């Protein structure tokens, strides 16, 4: 079972990953695994489209649940309140800034929306959103899988830190 961050865990060397109202347990399980292998901190914003004890979530996360740092927040504002000085990069297909054009800092937030709708307009226009960023795709394609997109972003942020 995923757990909340606590004082005994070291600070993350990577950006924070926020899933806004995720719907698919397998994607969130994969995000738990991503957090475990990279050191990123995963934040989930409620409501969730599944129960955290769901088998698909556990199966996708394999045995990495105890190695990941994850927090669940009752709202987007609560998640942002837990990370008051962080810049927020909202990943959306409706952006002109490429994810590779950002110089990431360790306290940045990489924000991703729910499957299949993406981030709603009120989140994209939230005053804390620093910029909207996109991962390039071929024309006419709708989107990447949520955790595939998050993996691309997390690894770019880590690459910029020389995988420290």
Query: Which fold is adopted by the domain 16-160?
Result: Alpha/beta knot (3.40.1280)
Domain boundaries, the chain: 16-160
Annotated binding residue 18: no
Is pTM beyond 0.85? Reply is yes
pLDDT at 15: 86
pLDDT at 26: 86
Annotated binding residue 29: no
pLDDT at 143: 87
Q: Average pLDDT by consecutive 10-residue portion of the chain (164 residues)?
A: 43 82 91 92 95 68 74 97 96 96 96 94 98 96 93 96 90
Annotated binding residue 152: no
Residues whose CB falls within 8 Å of the CB of residue 1, separated by 6 or more in sequence, listed in order = 52, 53, 65
Kindly state the helix (H) or strand (E) to which residue 72 belongs, with its residue range.
strand 69-73
User: Residue 42 and residue 28: Cα distance in Å, rounded?
Assistant: 9
């Amino acid at each position: 079972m995923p757990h909340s961050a606590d004082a005994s865990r070291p600070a993350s060397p990577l950006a924070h990953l926020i899933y806004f109202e995720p719907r698919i347990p397998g994607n969130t399980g994969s995000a738990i695994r991503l957090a475990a292998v990279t050191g990123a901190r995963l934040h989930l914003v409620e409501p969730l489209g599944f129960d955290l004890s769901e088998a698909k979530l556990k199966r996708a996360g394999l045995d990495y649940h105890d190695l990941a740092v994850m927090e669940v927040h009752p709202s987007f504002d609560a998640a942002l309140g837990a990370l008051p000085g962080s810049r927020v990069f909202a990943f959306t297909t409706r952006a002109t800034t490429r994810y590779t054009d950002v110089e990431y800092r360790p306290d940045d937030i990489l924000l991703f929306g729910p499957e299949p709708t993406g981030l709603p307009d009120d989140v994209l226009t939230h005053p804390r959103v620093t910029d909207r960023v996109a991962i390039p795709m071929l024309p006419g394609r709708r989107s990447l899988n949520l955790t595939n997109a998050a993996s691309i972003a997390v690894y770019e942020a880590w690459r910029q830190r020389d995988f420290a």
